[in-house]
Amino acid sequence: MKKIYHAATIEAAEQALKNFEKIWGPKCAYAVRSWKNNWENLTQFFDYPLEIRKIVYMTNIMESLNRGIRKYIKTKSIFPHDQAALKAVFLAIGNIEKKWTMPIQNWGMILHQFLIKFEDRCRI
């Protein structure tokens, strides 16, 4: 799947999907069919420059955050109301955020691309 995400153009991504289907089609028929049926939605990130796309498809960050929230909430057996659960998640994210020390690579270039693409919504 990385070859699809890392493709330079949407045409190259389509070719990568065809190659993926040749290799994995028999074993992962449902996944291939799902990708083909939802191709329009799944390839929206090709509307953005390469620098922005790199941070869009990085899932390790989200998986790490979800794991940290689950770890924090697992020790709580019940929340009296929705606001208490929301506060617990907020506090968990605050604690997890303290451990984030690595900056995003090429952040200057990424910020520049955001300013170009979203000039009306992005302010420095």
**98 in a structural domain:** yes
Same domain, 94 and 65: yes
User: Which residues fall within 8 angstroms of residue 14, CB to CB, at 6 or more apart?
Assistant: 39
Residues 31 and 79 reside in one and the same domain: no
Span 3-31, average pLDDT = 88
Are residues 79 and 42 both part of a single domain?
no
Q: Is residue 76 part of a domain?
A: yes
* Residue 83: predicted pLDDT: 93
CA pair distance 71, 90, nearest whole angstrom: 14
For residue 16, pLDDT beyond 70: yes
**Pair 33, 82 in one domain:** no
pLDDT on residue 76: 78
State which of 25-39, 46-60, 95-109 shows the largest mean pLDDT.
Answer: 25-39
Burial label for 85, CB within 10 Å (0-12, 13-18, 19+), is middle
Helix residue ranges per DSSP H, 75-119: 82-97, 107-117
Number of domains in the chain: 2
Q: Has residue 64 been placed in a domain?
A: yes
99, 72 Cβ separation under 8 angstroms: no
Domain span at residue 34 reads 2-47
